[in-house]
Structure formats: C-alpha cells, structure tokens
Amino acid sequence: SEISVWIFAFYLILILMLTTFRDTYFPWQLAFNFNRPLSDVNLVFMKETWKLVYAPSRLDFFYNSFGNIMCFVPFGILFPIVFSKKQSFFKTIVIGMLFSIFIETLQFLLATGVSDIDDVFFNTCGVILGYLIYLFFKKYVCVCN
C-alpha cells in the first residue's frame, strides 16, 4: 500500500541522516574526501567489536552490535511489504547488505563515521531478524493473501 512506501522512504532517509549526513543540512555542505587512505576502513572481521568487549564500558559494545542490528530490523520488515511481488528472503538480505555497504562507503567518503565490516555484518543480521519478524506476522497474525 501507499502508506508502507511512505514509511519505508521515511525510514531510509532517517537511517541516512543518523548514520551518514548527521552534520549537514544542505547538499552543498557535503565534502567528499577522495584522498582518504583505504587503510582507514576496517576490513578485519570482529576486530573492533572484540576490543569493545574488553573496554571499560561494555555499553559501547552493546550500542555498536545491538544498535546496528536494531537499526536494520525495519528494513527486513518493510522491504518485503513494499516490494511484495518481487520480495524473497535472498533479495531482501542482498539489498539490505548493499544498503549497509552504501552507508559505510558514504561514511568513508564523507568522513562522517567509521567504516567497519562489523557494521555490515550486524546490519545484515538486523535485516535477517526483521525478515523473520515479517514472516512470523505474515503467517500467524495477518490473514492476508
């Protein structure tokens, strides 16, 4: 329905504003850093996450892991609703992962966050969890066709 499209669009814009465009209000304020070294990207799986486990405050660990998961649960729920004729588990996961990689790439190019492979992993876990919630409601709660 049209309302689900609007909710999904609002959600995508909100995620981009919270993760990537947090310090800008206008497009002309964006500054791309194409000379940034690729060594700034963490491609070692769980390297930074394990550091947070042993940090003095475990709150950072929970914020990083569960926060990234929870931010992408709505994607897993809304994507199959909006694209109901083309949705599948595989497509939802792949598109969700690509959206996460897009965010990490923008964070790297705009220097607005830390680009980390762990974020892509946790975001994809959130998409999977959201899709499972979608399936549960479709099967047990909603009497939809």
- Ramachandran sector of residue 126 (left: φ over 0; alpha: ψ -120 to 50; beta: rest): alpha
Neighbouring C-beta atoms of residue 102, cutoff 10 Å: 12
Percent of the chain with pLDDT over 90: 47
Range of the domain at 83: 2-10+39-141
pTM of the model: 0.87
Asked if the structure places residue 19 within a domain, the reply is no
Give the sign of the dihedral formed by CA 48, CA 52, CA 56, CA 59: positive
Asked if the structure places residue 32 within a domain, the reply is no
Asked if the structure places residue 31 within a domain, the reply is no
* 3-class DSSP state of 116: strand
Across 89-104, average pLDDT: 95
If residue 104 lies in a helix (H) or strand (E), which one and from where to where? helix 89-110
- Rank 40-44, 101-105, 114-118 by mean pLDDT and report only the highest: 101-105
Asked if the structure places residue 33 within a domain, the reply is no
pLDDT of residue 143: 55
pLDDT of residue 11: 97
Neighbouring C-beta atoms of residue 23, cutoff 10 Å: 11
